[in-house]
Amino acid sequence: MAKLDPRTKIIFFIFAFALAFMFTEISEVIVFTSILLILCSITSERGKIFGRLKIMAPVFVVAFILWTFLNQFSIFHTSNGGVNVLTGAFMTLRLLLIIILSLAFVSFVTPVELVNALSSFKLPYKLVFTLGLSLRHISTISDEYIAIKEGQTSRGLELDKGFLVRRIKNYNSVVLPLLVRSIENAEKLVLAMELKSFSLNNRRRYSIGKLNSIDYIVIISMAITLAIYIVKVFVW
């Protein structure tokens, strides 16, 4: 996945998300999910992806129970009502597939690659710049949050002990400094842009290379697969 062009990665994930919502058989979801898990297991990001999936295990259990016993209220899958284990398994596996795709997208596509790829798609420059700036600010806030949390923990503050109300109060010591730091970072960014006389009217060119043969193979394969399922769902 790391060797693929950023444009190929984005197209792959767009097609993959579309397929995830078009699958109608549980066997299709199992096969596609298995392929994704195998691909994730051979990458350097496997620890991060599987670690987050482990944390979300209770969500899948609750989803299975709800879709098994309350499937008649679902707006995503038609059912005759009653207890339906097959529906519960199908919808839970689809949820698992969507979450795996989301985690893989975040892990394999960096903000810089995303901005470069969207720029190459001839999207409005203001949209691409705003998205890139937002992603960069989110990354900065995440780093600040980790630093502040570790600092408060080293001072003896126990953030994850006690009941819910106590935990919320404890996190005030993290949230308030984080809010102040976020405002300070935003002010520094605005000042830097003003000093450089930055303007959205001066379009910046993002450099990106040409697609390789592997990129064309991935794009064509996903396009053919998506076309087959479109015909299956909407024509047959």
102-115 tens-digit pLDDT: 989 888 888 888 88
CB 84 within 8 Å of CB 20: no
Burial class (CB in 10 A: 0-12, 13-18, 19+), 42: exposed
Q: What is the pLDDT of residues 186-224, one digit of tens each?
A: 888 888 888 877 776 766 665 667 888 998 999 999 999
Report whether pLDDT(153) > 60: yes
Beta strand segments in the chain, E: none
Buried b vs exposed e over 22-39: b needs ≥16 C-beta within 10 Å?
Answer: ebeebebbeebbeebbee
Q: What is the pLDDT of residues 107-148, one digit of tens each?
A: 888 888 888 888 888 888 788 888 878 877 887 888 888 888
* pLDDT of res. 208: 67
Report whether pLDDT(78) > 60: no
Average pLDDT, the chain: 84
Contacts with 1 (C-beta within 8 Å, 6 or more apart), sequence order: 9, 39, 43, 104, 108
Q: What would the two tokens of residue 5 be? A: 């062009």
Q: 10 Å Cβ neighbour count for 183? A: 10
